[in-house]
Amino acid sequence: MTAEPVRRVLVLGGYGGFGGRISRRLAGQGLEVLVAGRSFAKAEAFCRGDPHLIPVELERSDIVAALSQHAPDLLVDASGPFQAMDLTIPRACIAAGVHYCDIADSRAFVTAVPELDAAARKRGVVLISGASSVPALSGAVVRELSTGLDRVTAVEIAISASNRAAAGPAVAAAILGQVGKPFRARRSGREDIAYGWQEPIRIDFEVAGLRPLRGRRVALVDVPDFALMPDSLPGTPSVIFRAGTELDFQNVALGLLSWPVRWGWLGSLAGLARWIAPMQRLTARLGSDRSAMRLRLFGLDGNQRLERRWTLIAEHGDGPEIPALAVPPLAARILAGAEPPGARDAGQALRLADFQDAFAGLAIAHATSERTLRPPLYARVMGSRFAELPQALRRIHEVLRDGGASGEAEVTGPANPLGKLVARIMRFPVGGRYPLHVSFSERDGGEHWTRHFGARAFASSLEEADDCLVERFGPLRFRFDLPSDHRGLEMRMVGWSAWRVPLPLFLAPRSRAQEWEEDGRFCFDVPIALPLIGRIVHYRGWLTAS
């Protein structure tokens, strides 16, 4: 019986931070691994002692000749930064009949690879992009968490890296190149513009049996998941991804530097990448060797409002192994002929179970949990009357973590100059007809509404207190009863305060806001006037939930 030939894999950047980990794992599968890079000396030093690892000196510009000379069965691109790359290498693989896989985390690159699908199918070649923490691992997790849900409303992903997880030049350039740069994110029911390394928050990472990571700071970072996840899940949910380093001062510095880039004062911070390694050496003794990843998914299973959560904590410096874990199982599937020809992203390629063996060999623990959430704010205030409201009203007020609605509004402005002053302070829109979008954000049982009248916006927060709805504008709090019937509801003011000091009701603003359904749409009429001053604003119109 003739032995099957050993399969050969060419790994670009094969001795780098992530590429080296991938090369060793592929060699551990019995594959012949060509470890390619610009420096033959570095490749040779890396390969020494392992007969499955073969050093190769290779410039990316010589890829066509290299594919012909070495005839690999699969090329793995682990070089980066993919933010600065085009599809030259995937195209070369198609022409040479070589399967292809990469660890790209660039949205533009990963979403461009499927453009080669027809050519890859015709040549019988598999091209998979993004075999890394995102979108391969994140995609596997979100598919598992979304199983059985009728609608998903929000997905929130966060990664916090250990301070001892050294970033190579390519990773550093990719991080710094995003600082302050705009990108598209789906939230509040529509495409929004976000900025790299802004909107920071603190989060906790918890896995039973391990010491939790508390208060890690993370900020917005552009990744392929922003483009891939909304359309792959029922309900087209909002998707948010944040990342951060372990040390606060590093995150704060990136956040501060993001503003000059956002304002156009600086073009990009990518040129500072060469300073990352020296800074890491100076701060190496600070922080810990613990990294973490968390994914939260909010959705509906029938009438049940659920949060499902998956959390991973890596200890003993094993966090940097995670971006390298998707390639080996994918390579095995590709070389075994289990992956159909074509070009696609890695977000749909693997299941969470495909990572289990790799997790088991590392200091990594992960856990999944589910909790049932309270009814929405208006349902808690109104009780059984909420179910009697028209469907269009219920849909608007059934906010689960994130939502939005769009429509039109007609605004009548202040009645006099003093009213104009008050309206300007409150940021109310001036008179006119506007396209209207309302963004809903739910946190800890309360809601935050931002009303966008064209380019002008004003916001308020809503919460429950003493069986009433409380709306807050800065230090002012207005308490409303919500009389209703099958036609709609009214907001009837029953009290107000400033800095939590109760104020006389006869001095309160006059407002009889009403909501009803008409032609299947949520309709509203909101007049606001002040005693002795008169009308401040009056807006009316309609909305449909996004």
Listed in sequence order, the DSSP H helices in 271-376 are: 276-282, 327-335, 356-360
Q: To the nearest whole number, what is the mean pLDDT of the chain?
A: 93
Q: Is residue 253 part of a domain?
A: yes
Task: Give pTM, 2 decimals.
Answer: 0.93
545 near 396, Cβ under 8 Å? Answer: yes
Q: What is the mean pLDDT of residues 451-460?
A: 93
Same domain, 402 and 282: no
Predicted pLDDT at 546 = 87
- pLDDT band of residue 1 (cuts 50, 70, 90) is very low
- Give the range of the structural domain holding residue 225, as residue numbers without chain letter: 134-319+362-372
Q: Tell me what pLDDT residue 276 has.
A: 65
* Count of other CB atoms within 10 angstroms of residue 77: 27
214-268 pLDDT, tens digit per residue, is 999 999 999 999 999 999 999 999 999 999 999 999 899 999 999 999 999 999 8
Q: What is the pLDDT of residues 59-110, one digit of tens each?
A: 988 999 999 999 999 999 999 788 878 999 999 999 999 999 999 999 999 9
Helices (H) and strands (E) in the chain, counts: 16, 28
Query: Residue 110 sits in a domain of what CATH number?
Result: 3.40.50.720
Q: Are 389 and 483 in contact (CB under 8 A)?
A: no
- What does the DSSP assignment read for 443-477? ETTEEEEEEEETTEEEEEEEEEETTEEEEEETTEE
CATH number for the domain spanning 173: value is: 3.30.360.10
What is the structure's pLDDT at 279?
67
- Cβ neighbours of residue 174 closer than 8 Å, sequence gap 6 or more: 80, 81, 82, 83, 105, 106
Residues 402, 425 within the same domain = yes
Asked if 309 and 392 sit in the same domain, the reply is no
Same structural domain, 441 and 344: no
Residue 3 lies in a domain: no
* Distances in whole angstroms, Cα of residue 390 to Cα of each of 387, 487, 519, 520: 8, 6, 11, 9
17 SS3 class: helix
pLDDT score at 357: 87
Same domain assignment for residues 397 and 430: yes
Q: How many CA atoms lie within 13 A of 492 on its CB side?
A: 6
Indicate whether 54 and 88 sit together in one domain: yes
Asked whether 207 and 231 are in contact (CB, 8 A), the reply is: no
Q: Same domain, yes or no, for 28 and 99?
A: yes
Q: Indicate whether 289 and 144 sit together in one domain.
A: yes
**C-alpha span between 199 and 215 (Å, rounded):** 15
> Residues 476-525: pLDDT tens digits?
999 999 999 999 999 999 999 999 999 999 999 999 999 999 999 999 99
pLDDT, mean of residues 165-183? 80
Q: How far is residue 322's CA from residue 326's CA, in Å, rounded to a whole number?
A: 8
- CB 494, CB 510: distance < 8 Å: no
Say yes or no: 440 and 504 in one domain.
Answer: yes
Q: Which pLDDT score is estimated for 277?
A: 59
Q: What is the pLDDT of residues 304-335, one digit of tens each?
A: 999 999 999 999 999 999 999 999 999 999 99
| Same domain for 106 and 92 | yes
Distance CA(254)–CA(178), nearest Å, equals 10
In this model, does residue 177 exceed pLDDT 90? no
DSSP 8-state code for residue 133: I
Provide the angle, in degrees to the nearest 10, between the axes of the packed helices 225-232 and 138-146. Answer: 20
73 falls within a domain = yes
- Report pLDDT for 82: 87
What is residue 344's predicted lDDT score, i.e. its pLDDT? 97
Structure tokens at 426: 């409150």
Contact predicate 43/109, CB 8 Å: no
Number of domains in the chain: 3
CB distance 403 to 153 below 8 Å: yes
238-245: strand order across its sheet = 201-205, 213-220, 238-245, 151-161, 291-301, 304-314, 364-372
Residue 63 covered by a domain: yes
Q: Is residue 533 domain-resident?
A: yes
Q: Is the pLDDT of residue 278 over 80?
A: no
Residue-wise pLDDT tens digits, 111-124? 999 999 999 999 99
Q: How far apart are CA 538 and CA 526, in angstroms?
A: 6
pLDDT at 284 over 70: no
Judge whether 6 and 29 are in contact, CB under 8 Å: no
Q: For residue 95, what is the enclosing H or E element?
A: helix 88-96
What angle, 0 to 180 degrees and rounded to 10, lies between the N-to-C axes of helices 17-28 and 327-335? Answer: 50
Within-domain flag for 262: yes
Q: What is the mean pLDDT of residues 447-464?
A: 95
- C-alpha distances (whole Å) from 343 to each of 11, 48, 118, 346, 454 are 19, 35, 8, 10, 40
Residues 434 and 476: beta-carbon distance below 8 Å: no
Higher pLDDT pick, 274 / 425? 425
Domain boundary among 337, 372, 407: 372
Tell me the pairing of strands 151-161 and 291-301.
Answer: antiparallel
Decide: helix, strand or coil at residue 125: coil
Rounded CA-CA distance 237/449 in Å is 18
Pick the range with the lowest mean pLDDT from 231-245, 366-380, 416-430: 416-430
Angle at 16 between CA 26 and CA 11, to 5 degrees: 40
Q: Which two structure tokens, joined as six digits, stand for 420? A: 């104009």
**Where do the H-state alpha helices sit in 52-87?**
63-70
Judgement on whether residues 170 and 195 belong to the same structural domain of the protein:
yes
Domain annotation covers residue 528: yes
Shared-domain flag, residues 344 and 397 = no
Residue 2 lies in a domain: no
Q: Cα separations (Å) of 11 from 15, 63, 75, 286? A: 9, 12, 6, 33
CATH number at residue 436: 2.40.128
